[in-house]
């Protein structure tokens, strides 16, 4: 939880300003269940939140600032579930690492749907949303790349390509499309359980089964 989402019990209840700010965030989350982001106006958001239009601009510069805040919450949740992208320990096999990463992403996407789905669908037509998503993904790719590169240097990971950041970018993009239910990746039946199992295998073999990999996947 970020500092502006709440306070510790010792600090007492949230201030009126904190409640209004959260009401705006909650309003956008609710409205995205009803209509595309492009159809949301500041007035619509303010009305749903029960906050004056001038009050909205006291907390956020635009509706995109609210969306950026929400995406920050999504990323923080992913960080928490992956234990802040903790490196693979001696007791965690590559298969278990892949499962941890994919399962965490699946839970975050499910918990934040339809926000994530709405953003993915709008990225092709809305440059600001695309920039927000790209910035978030760039941070994610850097974090995962650093984890895997440390294993490559230690000789415990064997990616299928030496171009590690590009490989992880492709894996991340594929994961995103699958988890938002894109039919191109999930097929007509939309079997997400099957898709999750395949994602785990994709990450596992792309990062640990390349040239020089041992027969065993144990660290």
pLDDT digit string (tens) for the chain, length 219 residues: 333 433 333 444 567 778 999 999 999 999 999 999 999 999 999 999 999 999 999 999 999 999 999 999 999 999 999 887 889 888 999 999 999 999 999 999 999 998 998 898 888 899 999 999 999 999 999 999 999 999 999 999 999 999 999 999 999 999 998 988 888 888 888 888 898 999 999 999 999 998 887 644 444
Residue 138 lies in a domain: yes
Residue 50 has what pLDDT? 97
When divided into structural domains, the chain yields a total of 2
Q: For the CA atoms of the chain, what is the radius of gyration?
A: 20
Q: Quickly tell me which residue has 């007492």 as its tokens.
A: 12
Residue 13 has what pLDDT? 53
Give the CATH number, domain containing residue 26: 1.10.10.60
Residue 82 lies in a domain: yes
- Do 166 and 87 sit in the same domain of this protein? yes
- Between CA 40 and CA 44 the distance in angstroms is 6
Residue 163 lies in a domain: yes
Q: Contact 160/170 with Cβ under 8 angstroms?
A: no
- Between CA 214 and CA 158 the distance in angstroms is 9
**Which residue, of 11, 28, 59, is where some domain finishes?**
59
Q: Which residues contact 165 (CB under 8 A, 6 or more apart)?
A: 141, 142, 145
- Do 91 and 174 sit in the same domain of this protein? yes
Give the CATH number, domain containing residue 82: 1.10.357.10
SS3 180: coil
- Do 114 and 195 sit in the same domain of this protein? yes
**Which residue, of 15, 37, 59, is where some domain finishes?**
59
Q: In terms of residues, how long is the chain? A: 219
- Do 112 and 132 sit in the same domain of this protein? yes
- Do 54 and 67 sit in the same domain of this protein? no
| Of the candidates 177, 196, 35, the residue with the CA atom closest to the CA atom of residue 120 | 177
At 199, list the tokens. 């994602």
- Do 42 and 94 sit in the same domain of this protein? no
- Between CA 109 and CA 179 the distance in angstroms is 7
Q: What is the residue range of 48's domain? A: 3-59
Query: Quick one: which H or E segment has residue 148?
Result: helix 127-154
- Do 103 and 26 sit in the same domain of this protein? no
- Do 122 and 83 sit in the same domain of this protein? yes
At 118, list the tokens. 């709405």
- Do 126 and 53 sit in the same domain of this protein? no
- Do 49 and 124 sit in the same domain of this protein? no
- Do 103 and 144 sit in the same domain of this protein? yes
- Do 44 and 70 sit in the same domain of this protein? no
Note the pTM of the prediction, 2 decimals. 0.81
How many other CB atoms are found less than 10 A from the CB of residue 44? 16
Residue 213 lies in a domain: no
In this predicted model, what pLDDT tens digit does every residue of 96-137 receive, in sequence order? Answer: 999 999 999 999 999 999 899 889 888 889 999 999 999 999
How many other CB atoms are found less than 10 A from the CB of residue 111? 12
């Amino acid at each position: 939880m970020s500092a502006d989402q709440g306070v510790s019990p010792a600090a007492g209840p949230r201030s009126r300003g904190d409640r209004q700010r959260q009401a705006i965030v909650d309003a956008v989350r609710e409205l995205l269940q009803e209509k595309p982001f492009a159809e949301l106006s500041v007035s619509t958001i303010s009305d749903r939140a029960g906050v004056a239009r001038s009050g909205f601009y006291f907390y956020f510069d635009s509706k995109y600032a609210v969306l950026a805040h929400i995406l920050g919450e999504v990323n923080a949740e992913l960080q928490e579930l992956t234990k802040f992208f903790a490196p693979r320990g001696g007791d965690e096999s590559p298969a278990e690492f892949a499962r941890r990463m994919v399962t965490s992403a699946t839970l975050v996407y499910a918990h934040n749907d339809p926000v994530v789905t709405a953003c993915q669908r709008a990225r092709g037509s809305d440059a600001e949303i695309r920039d927000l998503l790209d910035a978030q993904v760039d941070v994610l790719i850097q974090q995962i790349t650093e984890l895997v590169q440390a294993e490559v240097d230690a000789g415990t990971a064997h990616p299928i390509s030496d171009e590690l950041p590009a490989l992880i970018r492709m894996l991340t993009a594929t994961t995103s499309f699958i988890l938002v239910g894109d039919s191109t990746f999930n097929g007509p039946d939309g079997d997400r359980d099957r898709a999750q199992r395949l994602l785990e295998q994709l990450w596992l073999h792309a990062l640990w089964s390349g040239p020089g990999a041992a027969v065993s996947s144990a660290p």
